[in-house]
Structure 1
Amino acid sequence: MSILRLFPVLSLVFLVACATAPEQVSTPKASVKPVELANKPLVKKQQKEDKTSLDPDVLFMLLTAELAGQRGQYDVALEGYLEAAKRVHDPRLTERAAMIALYIKDGNKSNEAVSLWLKQDPNNLSARKIAALSALKAGNKQQAVEQLSALLKNDPAGFEKSLFEIAGALQKEGSVPFIYDVMEALSVKHPGQASVYFIQSLLAADMKNQGLAERKVEQALRLQPNWDKALILQAQMAVYSEDYKRAEILLRTDALKYPDNQKFKKMLAQVLIKSAKYEEAGEVYKTLFDNDPKDYESQFSLGLVQLQLDHDGKAEDIFKQLLEQAEWRNQASFYLGKIEEKRDNTENALTWFDKVSEGPFQFEAAVTSVSLLAKGRQFDRAEQRLKVLPSKFPKQKPRIVLIQAELYNQQKQYEKAFNYLTGELKNYPGQEELLYSRALIADRMGKLAVMEADLQKILAKSPDNVEALNALGYSLADKTTRYAEAETYLLHALRLKPDEAVILDSYGWLKYKMGNHHVALDYLQRAYDKQPENEIVAHLAEVLWVSGKKDEARKLFEKAIDDAPDDAYLLNFKNKFLQLDSSK
């Protein structure tokens, strides 16, 4: 669980400055502008205020620093600003020195500049935040607690926000346990601060200590029982531990207690969806929209729930209403296209997908159109649409490559797909999705060495990649007699996803190949019950047949072949067993 995933963290002004070059500083090739503070050139402003008060040596230092900054010589600029700041009581100079020191990650100079800054301007919140951040980065617990205490004293109203910012800024550095310890010391010093316990709860969750996280959020709520952020976090804890029943109880209680706070109802609807209680979730969204006809987010969510319930007509009405709202038009058009796709109205679906002109759904609409045409074996039209995508969506090139390879695959142009992926892997070496796709095609072509090498490359980088584990285990079981190796991979995959139908199928097939028909039937039946796709049907039917349960196998096959008369897996079973049996 991540702090940033639980609650958005606002950026500090000073952190933005640290993430980029000091403002108005450019490389020698770029246009040169003066380094500015408070939107005015520093040196010129000081000269205007008192042309005779600035010591010539200080003026020279500032001019040198400014020119150095413009040339990207930040170490020289830092020395100039810091030395000038020591001679002139102007916090702006010290601030500039601190910003540059942070940017070039000079910890000693940063501490020196911030210390001087606080002496010159003790109540400056940005200086105090940087001091706290520096202490935390340096692992100085005592100094961090002192700076955070001073921050609380100087800005009690903004303390919560500051804590979020600082914790969020440090999270990626892997210092979460240390930050938690600092917060623990801070909570001892300031036991009445709910925000400190709240941050501790987030940090404990990040450390995957669920019990501690729950205790800390409860401490925060004892101090501020009506704090909606803490109440929502408490429910989120239950969701992350997959205790949806508890999350639902908490949110229903909160929603009743605070009827005007819509956050609880919206999260309740999400939890109900997680629990597959779609009807109840729909009722919550409907109530939200009825109470606020401008709550288009809830209206859109209601449309998605209706779609999930196969109430396509109701969903269609909702999405068509949303077409009147410009900010929801693209999302609504996309799902109207999906509804037409479900109805097998290809041209109508394409018309809706083509109306998605911007936003995150634009690419999805484009690739769904390609897939829809390919499904109808209109490969020429699919290719025409696919050709324009790389220029429109350059960041999506790897995914476009996968779609192109799949088009070749669907046309049984395996050699072409293999060579295409091999070429693209030169542009994207080690890209796991491309390696996985080529491995599957190599398997079809009988290139077992390539298949195994590609999957091993994936597992070397991502040893818990379930798809690669399953593919490698299944291929070894199906195409070789290396059953012990296959079992190692498949058991690993099962530990990660014990209820995944395709993995259950693979393991069942392995057990069949090993001669353990009883165990094979158990796994294959479980796989079929979860996902009755044709390959699983063919596997289950074969094991039933060789186990002497021919009537069951035949019924299973006949039920599936009616829906998919051209399926290769089913036809292979028919040729292997049924035709042979009928010829006797």
Structure 2
Amino acid sequence: MDYYGLMHHFFRVFPLLTLVSGMAFAQAPKPAQPASDAVPPAAPASAASAAETPRPSALTARLLYELLVGELSFQDGEANQGIALMLDAARRTHDSVLYKRAVEMAIQSRSGSMAMDAVRAWRQAEPRSPDANRLELQVMVALGRIAESDAPLRATLAALPTTDQEPFILAVPSLYTRAIDKAEAAQVVERGLADVLQNPALAPAAWTSIGRMRLATNDRTGALSAANLGQTANPKSEWPALLALQLMTGADEPNAEPLIKRYLRNATPKPEVRIGYARALVDAGRGKEAHEQLAELTRNQPDYPEGWLAQGALYAQERHDTEAETALKRYLELATQPSADERFDRSNGRNQARMTLAQIAERRGDYAAAESMLAKIDSPDEAINVQLRRATILARQGQLDEAVQLIRSVPVRTPEDARMKITAEAQLLRENKRPQQAYDLLQSELSKDPEDEDLLYDTAMAAEKLDRLDEMEQLIRKLIEIKPDAFNAYNALGYTFADRNLRLPEAKQLIEKAVELSPDDPFIQDSLGWVEFRLGNRAQALRILQAAFAKRPDAEIAAHLGEVLWTMGRKDEAIVVLRNGVRLNAENETLQETLQRLKINP
């Protein structure tokens, strides 16, 4: 027996075996669907028994032969013949499995017209089939026939069970993501969802999807209007509030926040909305308000794990380590209990909490506790991060060479892993007073790919540490040439000039370009405040630095703000700020240099 030949044919017809299996299930008896919502009369016992008798299978020898020929023709490159045979069999048997297979074959062969013919034949045979209608919609959108897709959108929605309608409506914007004409797609979706806008149960989701489609066209006013209409339809629905949150964070729409606040005043708002709002407040530099939102969440829903995780992460970011530890340990207590809701896979959250707890333990010098937390992280995706954290702990204990070897020994699964290892080793060397080794490592990697954007930036920063300013500037300007919107490059070069009191007008121009490209970045605002200080504009510098520090408490920003206050004669305020900087990161080089130069012991 030709075993290998037999196996070859088996794998060629394997799709057919799957198809036949699907047909077997498809031939099971189906209860008749009532023509209206009225409950049908109970069937007599004899009728019920008859209904339970399986019908004869439609899979005859002739049909099996045709399906086999169709599959083999398709696999042998005769796609049109294979699709035609499959579609003909579907029409004769009225079998949805065969219709679906014909559509799949047409899609795989990149035959848009045949895919459209097959899916329309299926929908005409089964006009109330959710699968047929949904697939017609998907094929039509994929073919770019956006203007015609409102009818199948309405038909798909009408064919779905009531429980599936809201999830489908919310998924509509993702279906049109690749549409070239976003405005046309937005209009089509509005037409397709028009019938449900008067339904209080579905209107909030429909207006939310309409709003997201409008937002894709940069129509913030229209998106905000949709969010308002959705909330008016049902103030207790979370969907318009989530759209408002998207407007607040992604589109910087200030008028969206009142919708979020109105929703949160409901008796039982979804905790995800409150957490999202807290994160938006943090990004806006409103940390106190973010804490208030998270405190209310953990108070009202103390058994909701993610509330404690968000609270712990915020405390840890602010270096309030005791409070962070309490919140994160509470999260782990709750997150390790079985969840009745299968949507929640909390493994990532547990790993995040343990990683943060390890960093907190590391900061206080309890390396055994840090290692204990790291040992509990068993995700392959986190393996490299765990080892890098361990390397940092070794370096803190004076074992830098061992730390470097540990980084180099980490297995690499992807090119991103390899890049992460290089970056981590260079950072470790810089932080531990070995800037030349860091530079040599990065320069060696850059020579292999001279236009790599990340390596250009990292090598430039290493050159700056060695006071090789001409080389640093050359690398940064090359990066800007390759990537004109590299805000970090403009900021780095501008700050380097400002920090050394060099070419200050040019430094300000570079930093202002970085602000233009990334207006909400507190570290770029810090650079802007610092160059204003160097230029002698102390009042302007103070205003900018105070806003930056409020938005992101950071030791380096504290150093700059403290120095500005000190030189303005506001020494008590300066000491308070600098003391906060020490609490945030006592080892920060800029902070330490500032304290020594000003002879301050906060």
Residue aligned with 2:176, SS: helix
| Letter paired with 1:441 | A
Residue among 157, 167, 192 paired with 1:152: 157
Contact 2:532 2:540 in 1 (8 A): no
Is 1:204 aligned to 2:209, yes or no?
Answer: no
Is 1:192 aligned to 2:198, yes or no?
Answer: yes
CA distance in 2, matches of 1:533, 1:311: 14
Is 1:464 aligned to 2:446, yes or no?
Answer: no
Residue among 465, 475, 489 paired with 2:510: 489
Tell me what 1:15 maps to.
none
Q: How does 1:271-282 map to 2 (within 5 A)?
A: 275-276=286-287, 277-282=289-294
**What are the superposed Cα offsets for residues 239-288 of structure 1, whole Å, 9 maximum, x if unpaired?**
545578963x5455434433375555555655665531254234323324
Classify 1:73/1:43 alpha carbon distance in 2 versus 1 (closer, same or farther; 3 Å). Answer: farther
Q: How does 1:373-384 map to 2 (within 5 A)?
A: 373-384=394-405
CA distance in 1, matches of 2:262, 2:520: 33
Residue aligned with 1:386, SS: helix
Q: How does 1:64-75 map to 2 (within 5 A)?
A: 64-70=69-75
Tell me what 1:367 maps to.
388
Residue among 94, 119, 122 paired with 2:124: 119
Residue aligned with 2:485, SS: coil
Tell me what 2:20 maps to.
40
CA distance in 1, matches of 2:423, 2:156: 52
Tell me what 2:425 maps to.
404
CA distance in 2, matches of 1:29, 1:387: 47
Tell me what 1:287 maps to.
299
Query: What TM-score do you get using the length of structure 2 for normalisation?
Result: 0.71
**What are the superposed Cα offsets for residues 281-322 of structure 1, whole Å, 9 maximum, x if unpaired?**
3432332444xx3x3223333444554676544543444455
**What are the superposed Cα offsets for residues 441-497 of structure 1, whole Å, 9 maximum, x if unpaired?**
234456556534533443345422221111233456788987776554322113234
Classify 1:215/1:266 alpha carbon distance in 2 versus 1 (closer, same or farther; 3 Å). Answer: same
Tell me what 1:22 maps to.
none
Residue among 320, 332, 338 paired with 2:359: 338
**What are the superposed Cα offsets for residues 358-392 of structure 1, whole Å, 9 maximum, x if unpaired?**
27665444323323443554312322331332347
Q: Give the root-mean-square deviation of aligned CA atoms.
A: 4.8
Classify 1:264/1:424 alpha carbon distance in 2 versus 1 (closer, same or farther; 3 Å). Answer: closer
Contact 1:474 1:486 in 2 (8 A): yes
CA distance in 2, matches of 1:517, 1:448: 21
Classify 1:459/1:330 alpha carbon distance in 2 versus 1 (closer, same or farther; 3 Å). Answer: same
Residue aligned with 1:81, SS: helix
Q: Return the offset for 1:28.
A: 7.1
Tell me what 1:177 maps to.
183
Q: How does 1:472-483 map to 2 (within 5 A)?
A: 472-475=493-496
Contact 2:457 2:489 in 1 (8 A): yes
Tell me what 2:310 maps to.
301
Aligned residues: 532
Tell me what 2:34 maps to.
none
Deviates more, 1:430-439 or 1:228-237: 228-237
Classify 1:280/1:166 alpha carbon distance in 2 versus 1 (closer, same or farther; 3 Å). Answer: closer
| Letter paired with 2:152 | Q
**What are the superposed Cα offsets for residues 91-119 of structure 1, whole Å, 9 maximum, x if unpaired?**
44332121122234322121121122223
Is 1:420 aligned to 2:441, yes or no?
Answer: yes
Unpaired stretches in structure 1, ≥5 consecutive residues: 1-26, 579-584
Q: Return the offset for 1:404.
A: 1.1
Residue aligned with 1:390, SS: coil
| Letter paired with 1:436 | Y
Q: Return the offset for 1:211.
A: 1.4
Classify 1:29/1:66 alpha carbon distance in 2 versus 1 (closer, same or farther; 3 Å). Answer: closer
Q: Return the offset for 1:180.
A: 0.7
CA distance in 2, matches of 1:269, 1:477: 35
Residue aligned with 1:257, SS: coil
Classify 1:574/1:528 alpha carbon distance in 2 versus 1 (closer, same or farther; 3 Å). Answer: farther
Classify 1:429/1:288 alpha carbon distance in 2 versus 1 (closer, same or farther; 3 Å). Answer: farther
Q: Return the offset for 1:189.
A: 6.1
Contact 2:408 2:421 in 1 (8 A): no
